[in-house]
Chain A
C-alpha cells in the first residue's frame, strides 16, 4: 500500500524518480564497487609487476599462479564464513581449531567405514559438516541468548575443539587408509586443481547468498542496526545463529580439503588459521564494526595475501621478514579503507 499526501504525484514524477533512481543508482553502485575493489586490484597489479621482474619471470607462470590458488583455498573458504560473522559485527576465533577437529573426526570416520569411493567422500563430508555446523551452533547460542561477546564464546570453542582434536587423535595425525580423497587433494579437472574448483563454487554460492537473498540482506541489516532489524520483524536470533553455523561449516569444508591434500587429519594444521581468515576479510575491506562487507572482496583479500606469500617465497625472503611485511600490508589496508570511508561519508552533514 502506498499513500498520497495532499495531492497525488502524477505518473511522470514516479517515472522520473524511478529513472533517476536506476540510472544514478547504478552509477553510484558501480563507483562504490569500483573504489572498493579498485584498491585491492591496483595493489595486486603493482605487486605482480614488481615481483615478476625481480623473480626473473618465475612468478607469472601458469604453474605458479595455479599453485597460489591452491594454497589459498583453505584460507579463502574459512574467510568466506568469517565474512558473514564479521558483517554481523561478530568474530569467529574457533575456525582454526575446527579445521583440526573436523579433520581428525573425518579421517577417523573414513578409516572406520566399510565402503569406499565417492560414497565415502560424501559420507565423510556430511560428518565433517555436522561437526563443524554443530560447533558453530554452540558458538552462537550464548551470543544470541545471553548477548555474550562472540570473542569469548568462540575463544572457548577454539580451546575445546583443539583439545578434543588432540584427545581423539592422541596428538598424532590420523593417516587416511582410503585413496578416495586423492582426487580432491591432488587431482585436476581441466588443468585446474579440484580443490580450487571447490573454492570457486563456495565463493560463488556464498556471494549470491550474501548479496541476492533475504538472508544476506538480513545479515547486513543486523550488522548495521540490530534493534531496527528486530523491529522490522527479522528473526535476529536465527540469522545470527546461522552465520556461526555457516562459519563452522566452512571450517569443515576447509578441513576436508586439507585432510585430502595431506592424506591425513592432523590436530595441528589449523593453528593461526583463524587470524589468517580474519586478515583476509579485513584486507578485503569488510568492517569489523559490522554492516559492511563482501564475499568477493574477501576472496580478493585472501588472494592478495596468498600472492604476497608466494612472491616473498620466490624472492627468497626469510619467513620472519614475511610476517613483518604481511602485518604491514594488513595495517595499510585498513588505514586506506578508513580513509576511503571518510571520503565517501564526507557528504553527510
Chain B
C-alpha cells in the first residue's frame, strides 16, 4: 500500500500512509484509537476506498473496489466483531458464499470434507454441526480463520484477535499463526496488547494521527518505545499508585450467598476507597457476579448490603437507586445507544434530574455534558455528536460520563479498558483513583492480569462460579493467580 490517504467529512483519517507486508510475515500494526488502523485495513479489505494512493500485490497494481475483489486477491479480514451467521453450523459458516454444489443442490458431504481438510491441516478440533452462537469466542475465531483459508487467503488481517481470549487460547492462536506463516501466509496483526507482540510479530508499524511514524523489526523497539511512538509523548508508569484503604473505612458493599446462573454462593466485601479485582478465566462467572449485583440479571439468592443497608435487587433500577453503577464489558451492545448523541447518552440513566417539571431541560443537559467532555477529555466536536462516530476509548468515556453524573458510590467495572488505547487506559485508571479519593468502592473485572494486579487492593480469583482464593495486592503474583484460575492450585 503506497501513499494512502483518506478523508471523511471533517476528518483526515489517513494521509500518505505506506505499508508493506512480505509473504510469510506477521506484521504488527499499532496505534491509539483513531490513529487510522481500522480505516487503513478497511481500505485493504475493500470496505472503504482510498482517496489517494495505490495498492500492489506481488508487484502488480490492483484495484480493490469491494469485499469480493479483496477476497479474490487473497485478502482475508477478521474483524474484532466476527462475521459468522449465529444459527449456521461450523461447516456451513466455513463454506459460506463458496458452498460446493451438485447441480443446483448443495453438496453437504463435500462441504464437510472441505471444512474437515482445513481443520485437520491446522490441527484443530471443532464440533462440526454446532451453531456458531454456541461456540466459544476462541472457537469462533478459529472458524473465521478457516473461512479465510478456504477462500485461499494469502494475507489475513486480524483486528484485536486476543482481546477476548484467555492466555491458553492465545497460545493456541499463536501456534496456529506460526504454522500458517511457515506455509507462506502473511498476517497483519492489529493489537493494543503490546506485550504480546514480540512473541508473534516479525515487524511492527506504528500509526499516529493518520500517519505511519515508524516501521521496524520487532526486536528493535521496546514496549516503552512503542508507546512513545504511538502517543508521541512520554507516559508515566503504567498504573497510578493506589492510595491505601483508610483505616476504619466504612463497608460499602457486602455480598453474601449470591447465586445467579453459574455463580454459586459468592460472598465478599468492599470498603469505601477500595478496589477489589475479580480475576479468572473468561467464562468463570466474574461478569455474572457484577451483573447480579447491578440487577442486570436478577439474582436467584443472596443478600446484598450497601453501606450497611440491605437492598433488594429486582432490576437495574433498584441497583441504580442504591447507588450502584455497572460499566458493562460490551459498550456497544450494553453501554451505549450508538445512534444517540453524547448528550443523550450521558443523561440517559439520570434523566429525571433534567426534567423537574416534565419537560427535559436541554440547556442543563448540555451544560453537564460539556463539563463531562472537558473533565474526561472526551474527543468529540460537541455534545451533539452521535456516539457511533467516536473512537472506542471515547465511547468508553461516554459510558463513564453516564454513571459519573449520578450519585453512585459503588462502581462495578467489567473489563474497563478492553479494546481502548494506551492513553485512554491511563486516563481511566486515574479516574478510578479519583473515585477512590471520593470514597467510592470499586469492583473491577478484568482479563488482563497486569491490570488486576496493578489496579486492585485485593484480588479475588473466580473459577467455575465460585471465589476460590483471595490475595492482597502485595501477595498476588501472576503465577499464583493463574494457578488458582486454571484449577492448578486451590
Chain A contacts to B: CB under 8 angstroms: 1-6, 8-9, 13-14, 16-18, 20-22, 24-25, 28-29, 208, 212-214, 217-218, 220-221, 224-225, 227-235, 291-292, 345-349
Contacts and interface: CB of A to CB of B under 8 A. Distances in A.
A14 B359 contact: no
Contacts of B388: 345, 348
Given A217-B348, A231-B326, A1 B336 contact: no
A5 B348 CA distance: 23
Contacts of B382: 17, 20-21, 24-25, 28
A227 B339 contact: no
Residue with the highest number of chain A CB atoms closer than 10 Å, among B39, B316, B333, B431: B316
A5 B430 contact: yes
Contacts of B335: 228, 231
A25 B358 CA distance: 23
A232 B402 contact: yes
Given A9-B375, A292-B339, A349-B11, A1 B349 contact: no
Contacts of B377: 5, 9
Nearest to A32: B384
Contacts of A21: 343, 366, 369-370, 373, 382-384
Contacts of B402: 232
Contact of A228 (B294, B319, B334, B370): B334
A175 B388 CA distance: 55
B371 interface: yes
Interface stretch (B119-127, B223-231, B403-411): B403-411
Interface residues of B, number: 68
A-B pairs with lowest CB-CB distance, top 5: A18-B370, A25-B384, A224-B337, A232-B349, A5-B430
B9 A18 contact: no
B434 interface: yes
A79 to B, nearest CB: 22
Contact of B360 (A18, A217, A227): A217
A237 B316 CA distance: 13
Interface in B341-384: 343-344, 348-349, 351-352, 355, 358-360, 363, 366-377, 381-384
Nearest to B342: A21
A221 B384 CA distance: 15
Contact of B367 (A18, A217, A218, A235): A18
A242 to B, nearest CB: 15
Given A28-B382, A224-B338, A228-B337, A349 B39 contact: yes
Given A14-B370, A217-B348, A233 B360 contact: no
Contact of A347 (B34, B340, B372, B389): B389
